[in-house]
Amino acid sequence: MTEIMIYGAVFVAGLLVFDTLLRALFGARRKSAEVNSRLETLQRSANRGEAYRNLLRKRTSQDRNSFLAPFRWVARLYEQSGLELATHQRFLSVAAIFVASWFAISLFYAGPLVIKLVLQIVLTVTVTVATIAYMRARRIRKFVNQLPNALDIIVRSLNAGHPLGAAIALVAREMPDPIGSEFGILSDQLAFGGALDDSMLDMVERVGAEEVKLLAVTLTVQQGTGGNLAELLENLATMVRERLMLRNKIRAISAEGRATAAVLAASPFVLFFMLNAMVPTYFDPLWESGYGTEVVVVCLTMMAIGTVILNRMVNFDF
């Protein structure tokens, strides 16, 4: 009994040390990731105009030499994801996914090379787009979480007598990314003579969040009709906070369904690898029957349809 308690204490101590190291490591990375990239670019650039052009150039994938140029909708996802990869880095990332997909397909399919190549291209495109969409959703979620605090800064600045441009520039200086750089680009556009309507529409295109559309409508309508802008933005901040609270409640209620969907989607693959590792010859009769590829394709198709249905059941639009 004493030995069991000692082993248990050693295990708990090791677990605590491991957790502390992970928190320190990821905490340092999180601090470096939250630095306002616009301020860093402004420090490295000769002037504000050059920094503004560099920021837009890093975020865009519509340049002439970009391999994403033919896929405009993918390019838009990429811009809204906030990724700032050079052309060679994008190419290397897609090439790594391409090579990984080859090994993944080789585990399940041993048919003709042409069909394997087609499957590899489809899997590469799917994984690439899914990764960009995930990065975009994560960035939008972080932006929306920061938006109420940014609106509070603008409201306090307006109540202190500052103009709207100065209030937006204050958000760009005080807030971390992603909202700091986005409001910084907006501030630069206004400083270079851009109209508020056009600048807000550009910001909506860069971010892709519904809450930014509400902010754009609020600013453009107030500019045309007049009124107390500070009060309007204060009400907008309250509304965004209430939407976030409602979203968190819905995610908490649907957490069990999302966990069930993830387990059901992953269990066939886990079961396959477990059986293949414990009994390597378990699936040999299936492959030797000549119908193994057809069975795998039908099963994967049915799993994909089921995963989509489960995803629609546990995700809500509001």
Q: Which of 51-65, 116-130, 247-261 has the lowest mean pLDDT?
A: 51-65
pLDDT band of 12, cuts 50, 70, 90 = low
Domain positions in the chain are 1-33, 35-249, 254-318
pLDDT at 177: 82
Could you report the per-residue pLDDT of 233-249, keeping only the tens digit for each? 999 999 999 999 988 88
Query: Counting Cβ atoms within 10 Å, is residue 175 exposed (0-12), middle (13-18) or buried (19+)?
Result: buried
154 contacts 171 by C-beta, under 8 angstroms: yes
pLDDT at 62: 45
Could you report the per-residue pLDDT of 163-210, keeping only the tens digit for each? 988 999 999 888 888 898 889 888 888 888 888 888 888 898 889 888
As given in the structure block, the two tokens for residue 136 are 């975009």
Residue among 84, 246, 82 at smallest CA distance from 179: 82
Peptide bond into 178 cis (omega under 30): yes
pLDDT at 103: 83
pLDDT band of 6, cuts 50, 70, 90 = low
Rg of the chain on CA atoms, in Å: 25
pLDDT at 64: 45
Report the percent of the chain where pLDDT is more than 70. Answer: 75
pLDDT at 94: 87
For residue 35, is pLDDT > 70?
no
For residue 32, is pLDDT > 60?
no
For residue 48, is pLDDT > 70?
no
pTM for the full predicted model: 0.70
Report the percent of the chain where pLDDT is more than 90. Answer: 16
Cα 283 to chain centroid, rounded: 38
